[in-house]
Amino acid sequence: MNFNFLMMSPKKIYFNDFINYIKLFSYSNKLEIYPNHTPILLYLNNTIIKVYKNKYIYFYISKGFLEFKFNKLILLINKLVEFDILNKKKYLSKKNKILSLLKNKVIYKNNLNKFLNLNLKLINYNNFLYFYKKNKKLVK
């Protein structure tokens, strides 16, 4: 049995599909939602989301609201970071790009936005990795 999962921000819909279940991991709690779960409304802060639909998909959100009722899960968020925990190639390439920009002192007005975007993604990923390592026993 499945339920509908909609994850969105004010600007974009990130995920809208039927899933088997979802697990949420925060600093202090763990929550699993399956079909026909009791209606619930939550505020999420620094949360790892583990979605299962034929395979696991991991997301990290800094803040958001979750509502589940009538087998429909709606998650309203500011920002989303999607991760493949086992693959760190993207992270390392971003880190190397930032380090090379800093090393070569090529941070001028024309590529400042590029630098800031890379840096923001790296910071989000570092937050996620710190949180994941701290809660590794929960995410299995």
Per-residue pLDDT tens over the stretch 41-70 = 999 988 888 899 988 888 888 889 999 999
pLDDT of residue 139: 40
Residue 87 has pLDDT above 60, yes or no: no
Q: Among candidates 88, 10, 7, 87, which has minimal Cα distance to 49?
A: 7
Q: How far apart are CA 76 and CA 67, in angstroms?
A: 9
pLDDT of residue 83: 63
CATH class, 3-83 region:
mainly beta
Select the highest-mean-pLDDT range: 2-6, 94-98, 130-134: 2-6
Banded model confidence at residue 111, pLDDT cuts 50, 70, 90: low
Query: Region 109-132: what's the mean pLDDT?
Result: 55
Per-residue pLDDT tens over the stretch 96-110 = 666 666 566 555 444
Banded model confidence at residue 120, pLDDT cuts 50, 70, 90: low
Residue 71 has pLDDT above 60, yes or no: yes
The domains of the chain are located at: 3-83, 89-134
Residue percentage of the chain with pLDDT more than 70: 58
Beta-sheet pairing, 13-19 with 21-25 = unpaired
Q: Among candidates 75, 77, 76, 1, which has minimal Cα distance to 37?
A: 1
Banded model confidence at residue 77, pLDDT cuts 50, 70, 90: very high
Q: Residues 124, 94: contact at Cβ < 8 Å?
A: no
Q: What is the pTM of this model?
A: 0.61
pLDDT of residue 30: 87
